[in-house]
Amino acid sequence: MFLAPSYMGFLYEVWFDRHYRYTSQASTPYSRLGDYQLFTTSGPCGGNNIRTHSKYSPDFGDGIAMALSVRKSLDEYPPVPDSACAPRNDAFAFWKLPMELATGLAASTDYSESIIRRYLFEEYLSEQQRKPSRLLNYYYLFKAIIPVALRHRINAIAVHSRRPLEFPHWPCETALLDYLRQWVNQSLLSLGLDDVPHISFWPDGHRCCIVLTHDVESLVGFDRIERMADLEEKYGFRSALNFPLKQYPLDWRRLEALKRRGFEFGAHGLAHDGRLFRSEADFNELAPLLEQLARERDFRGFRSPSTLRRVEWLSRMAFDFDCSLADTDPFEPQPGGSCSVFPFFLGHMVELPYTLAQDHTLIHLLRKDPLPVWTAKLHWIASIGGMILTLTHPDYSGVEPHISRYETLLKRLSEVPGAWRALPSEVASWWRQRSAMALTMRNGVPVVSGAGCQRAVARQLGDEPLAKWEHGQ
């Protein structure tokens, strides 16, 4: 459902209070963040509008035929491998419209893929920005001997002193969602249709999705995992924990106990040493070892340490799913984002972008209470039926006072109506199944076929918040 006026007011109050203080106390480079606004009281439509669009966001001047304002020829980039049988990320595949419409929309469907990939695979960034900075190599040389508190300080200074990206907007970026919505609405218009069904985004009639993930950076964090797991269980959740596989010894007895309780595990690289995506030689040496260790432990998911990445290499990795990209994260060592609050395909993997700001970012880099940002964004994602995917660290959030904030987050997540509480592996499996399903019309009745179709719901686009949502509504 759309945001009710009273709820919009609440969101606005929460955000404005934080945003105002945040920008008014900022230093010069930091104050550039004042351009990031989540909510505003003024605008073309007046009232308490939601406005997640940065003035720097690419604009959709001519609707479906738009091109990004940050133009880059596709030839400038090494393409993300597009294996013949890899699922597609075009707009038709995203919406899963009736197959009867496929032929009539074939041209705009093909075109949409070239637009969408620019967001998903960060092709709006320069080639230099799409890989880890060389300066990080110096940082990793000394990282092991720098005390944790000093590390946070260095990271904060680095983030505040570098030139911020003009795009994507933080904490929400709607450019891709705008494009997908415009594409489907203009497609219906071009076919003379008012409304059609599509395969709903989530199974079993759920209206949005909640996924909890953790990266466990050290033995300090490892010692806190049960404490966080207990809290999650208390609110009806399970989570995925990602471990660097060669950094510290894992206590398998404790992990087995967590697995029996319904938690799952993934690989967080081999070590937090910045090597995996440093050079092609490093990647070719380390990736097979990482994949082999993960296979032996039945770890099906991956998140890159510090979310460092080269998307074209990442897409070749042999995991079921990856969680290395954000929808928007200007604060990571490699800033950027896919602009997506839905899963998508990265080669043969399902990409599950994290969509709530990291605890580390808010607590240690921005020195903010994370709850207002988390709360505003989780409600916004829920309101458009997207995927709320958290990335927190037992190393940082596993102790007071932060664990109390995490518990409040869990409580608020547990109150989101109609949410599918899922593990990353379940979401990846569902998204893969949904991608292979077909929706057809038989005597005016929508019928979904394909593996897992009994869980699918054919829903009218008119009942799908994302298809209707617009800025200023």
Cα–Cα dist 49/21, whole Å? 20
What lies within 8 Å, CB to CB, of 192 at 6+ separation is none
Query: Among residue numbers 34 through 53, which ones bind Zn ion (CB under 5 A)?
Result: none
Closer Cβ to Zn ion, 192 or 249, answer by number: 249
Shortest CB 305 distance to Zn ion, Å: 5
Shortest CB 253 distance to Zn ion, Å: 23
* Residue (of 187, 163, 162, 168) closest to 69 by Cα position: 168
Cα–Cα dist 331/164, whole Å? 9
215 near Zn ion, judged by CB under 5 A: yes
Shortest CB 252 distance to Zn ion, Å: 20
Closer Cβ to Zn ion, 217 or 327, answer by number: 217
Shortest CB 242 distance to Zn ion, Å: 8
- List the structure tokens of 400: 């007071």
Q: Which stretch binds Zn ion (CB under 5 A): 13-21, 58-66, 216-224, 402-410?
A: 216-224
Residue 85 · residue 72 · CB < 8 Å:
no
Cα–Cα dist 287/278, whole Å? 12
Query: Among residue numbers 292 through 311, which ones bind Zn ion (CB under 5 A)?
Result: 305
Shortest CB 286 distance to Zn ion, Å: 16
Closer Cβ to Zn ion, 269 or 385, answer by number: 269
Closer Cβ to Zn ion, 353 or 372, answer by number: 353
- List the structure tokens of 278: 């440093």
Cα–Cα dist 400/352, whole Å? 29
Shortest CB 239 distance to Zn ion, Å: 15
Shortest CB 232 distance to Zn ion, Å: 19
- List the structure tokens of 380: 């916004």
Phi, psi values for residue 220, rounded to 5°: -60, -45
Which residue has the closest beta carbon to Zn ion?
215
Closer Cβ to Zn ion, 217 or 464, answer by number: 217
Interaction mask 408-447, Zn ion, x per CB under 5 A:
----------------------------------------
3-state SS, the chain, equals CCCCHHHHHHHHHHHHHHHHHHHHCCCHHHHHHHHCCCEECCCCCCCCEECCCCCCCCCCCCHHHCCCCCCCCHHHCCCCCCCCCCCCCCHHHHHCCCHHHCCCCHHHHHHHHHHHHHHHCCCCCCCHHHCCCCHHHHHHHHHHHCCHHHHHHHHHHHHHHCCCCCCCCCCCCCHHHHHHHHHHHHHHHHHCCCCCEEECCCHHHCCEEEEEEEECCCHHHHCCHHHHHHHHHHCCCCCEEEECCCCCCCCHHHHHHHHHCCCEEEECCCCCCCCCCCCHHHHHHHHHHHHHHHHHCCCCEECCHHHCCCHHHHCCCCCCEECCCECCECCCCCCECCCCCCCEEECCEEECCECCCCHHHHHHHCCCCHHHHHHHHHHHHHHCCCEEEEEECHHHHCCCCHHHHHHHHHHHHHCCCCEEECCHHHHHHHHHHHHHCEEEEECCEEEEECCCHHHCCEEEHHHCHHHHCCCCC
Closer Cβ to Zn ion, 188 or 290, answer by number: 290
395 near Zn ion, judged by CB under 5 A: no
Closer Cβ to Zn ion, 69 or 133, answer by number: 133
Shortest CB 306 distance to Zn ion, Å: 6
Closer Cβ to Zn ion, 77 or 396, answer by number: 396
Q: Which stretch binds Zn ion (CB under 5 A): 137-145, 184-192, 208-216, 438-446?
A: 208-216
Shortest CB 386 distance to Zn ion, Å: 24
Closer Cβ to Zn ion, 19 or 364, answer by number: 364
Closer Cβ to Zn ion, 111 or 248, answer by number: 248
Per the document, the length of the chain is 473
Closer Cβ to Zn ion, 60 or 319, answer by number: 319
Interaction mask 51-70, Zn ion, x per CB under 5 A:
--------------------
Shortest CB 215 distance to Zn ion, Å: 4
Shortest CB 400 distance to Zn ion, Å: 22
Tell me, by CB under 5 A, how many residues bind Zn ion: 3
Shortest CB 368 distance to Zn ion, Å: 20
178 near Zn ion, judged by CB under 5 A: no
Closer Cβ to Zn ion, 123 or 215, answer by number: 215
Binding residues (CB under 5 A) for Zn ion: these are 215, 217, 305
